[in-house]
Amino acid sequence: IQLTLLWSGLTLIARALECSLAARIAFMLVAAFAPVVFVLLAHVWSDVLLLATLAFAVGALLRWRDDKQAGWLIAFWIALAIAATLRHNALPALLPLVAYAVWLHLEPRAIEPRRKRGVLVGAVVALCLGLNAIGGLSVLSAQLRVPIWPATAIWDLAGMSLEADEVLLPAPVRRPELTLDDLRAAYAPYTNVPIFSTTHGRVIGPYFLPPDPAPAVLLRAWPEAITAHPRAYLAHRLRLTAALFGSKPRAWPHELVYVDEEIHFGDNPP
């Protein structure tokens, strides 16, 4: 189902492009065989099905825009409804498509240019208000608000520390006994988890930082370290990029390439 939705969606999108046949084929191949998409399509995940469903929805909407056949519009709304049931965070992707569909409904009508601009501005404002409302509901429903950026900041500082040959992590996010050997033993170029899980608590987890002054100190130390050690930062990020998009050594976990089992998470919705 995922492959059918993705390829049919890409075909419909390519058909709507105003370019040569060769360029359309190239678009489909680049989109489908991009490393992340190509690897993920073999997995039975809600994320992957959402990607394929949205690709088909976009293609169906573009086909309806060009041909005005009601069947394509019905297919678009069905695909959107399915996408909405797959993941709770699908709404930011659905709203722009709904706004564009509404705009296409209004476009053939005799609307003065001045009013068209008003409708467009109103749609943008409604979209922004909707996204803001979603953020507000998230804040109200959250039991505990924890920023996620410290995970990236600590990960970058740990990677740069190995290149710079000094511990760049500020004191509030680590134990005094943390050494470069600890970081070197825990560091993996493809994930930041071992930095927190295998250093015996010497690197404080990003979601367990004391509220003050750790975040403020970390927010200053992060860009300062990048500025002071740009080569170390680039080397760390290049390692990560190669790990994500390049070939995977056999010694690395097989799950980086393919997860061949069904895993149930305790916080998944029923």
Q: Does residue 155 sit in the same domain as residue 251? A: yes
Instruction: Report pLDDT for 156.
Output: 94
Comparison of pLDDT for 132 and 19, the residue scoring more: 19
Q: Does residue 79 sit in the same domain as residue 154? A: no
Output b/e per residue, 10-29; b: 16+ Cβ within 10 A.
bbbbbeeeeeeeeebeeebe
DSSP string, 54-79: HHHHHHHHHHHHHH--HHHHHHHHHH
Asked if residue 237 is part of any domain, the answer here is: yes
Residue that is last in its domain, among 38, 69, 85: 85
Asked if residue 24 is part of any domain, the answer here is: yes
Mean pLDDT of 201-213: 81
Residue that is last in its domain, among 53, 85, 117: 85
What tokens appear for 224 in the block?
Answer: 């300062």
- Alpha carbon distance 61, 69 (integer Å): 10
Comparison of pLDDT for 144 and 19, the residue scoring more: 19
Asked if residue 123 is part of any domain, the answer here is: no
Q: Which tens digits make up the pLDDT trace of 59-88? A: 999 999 888 888 898 999 999 888 888 877
Domain of residue 198 covers 149-256
Q: Does residue 169 sit in the same domain as residue 245? A: yes
Q: Where are the alpha helices (DSSP H) in the chain?
A: 2-16, 21-32, 35-40, 46-67, 70-86, 91-106, 113-141, 149-164, 180-186, 193-197, 214-228, 230-245
Instruction: Report pLDDT for 235.
Output: 93
Peptide bond into 150 cis (omega under 30): no
User: Which residues are paired to 174 by β-bridges?
Assistant: 203
Asked if residue 22 is part of any domain, the answer here is: yes
DSSP code of residue 189 = T
Q: Does residue 250 sit in the same domain as residue 154? A: yes
Asked if residue 112 is part of any domain, the answer here is: no
Count of domains forming the chain: 2
Q: Is the pLDDT of residue 181 over 60?
A: yes
Do 202 and 171 form a contact (C-beta atoms < 8 A)?
A: no
Q: Does residue 248 sit in the same domain as residue 160? A: yes
What tokens appear for 38 in the block?
Answer: 């190509």
Asked if residue 176 is part of any domain, the answer here is: yes
Q: Give me the phi and psi of 209, to 5 degrees please.
A: -70, 145
Q: Which tens digits make up the pLDDT trace of 8-53? A: 999 999 999 888 989 999 998 998 888 778 877 777 778 888 989 9
Do 218 and 173 form a contact (C-beta atoms < 8 A)?
A: yes
C-alpha distances in Å from residue 72, one per residue of 24, 56, 77, 97, 159? 20, 10, 9, 14, 49
- Alpha carbon distance 100, 106 (integer Å): 10
Asked if residue 10 is part of any domain, the answer here is: yes
Asked if residue 246 is part of any domain, the answer here is: yes
Q: Does residue 245 sit in the same domain as residue 171? A: yes
Q: Does residue 249 sit in the same domain as residue 154? A: yes
Query: What percent of the chain is modeled with pLDDT above 70?
Result: 80
Single-letter residue type at 184: R
- Alpha carbon distance 264, 267 (integer Å): 9
Q: Does residue 157 sit in the same domain as residue 244? A: yes
Q: Does residue 249 sit in the same domain as residue 163? A: yes
- The residue among 206, 190, 194, 204 whose CA lies nearest residue 153 is 206
**CB contact set of 25 (below 8 Å; sequence gap of 6+):** 14
User: Which residues are paired to 256 by β-bridges?
Assistant: none
Q: Is the pLDDT of residue 266 over 70?
A: no
Residue that is last in its domain, among 62, 85, 108: 85
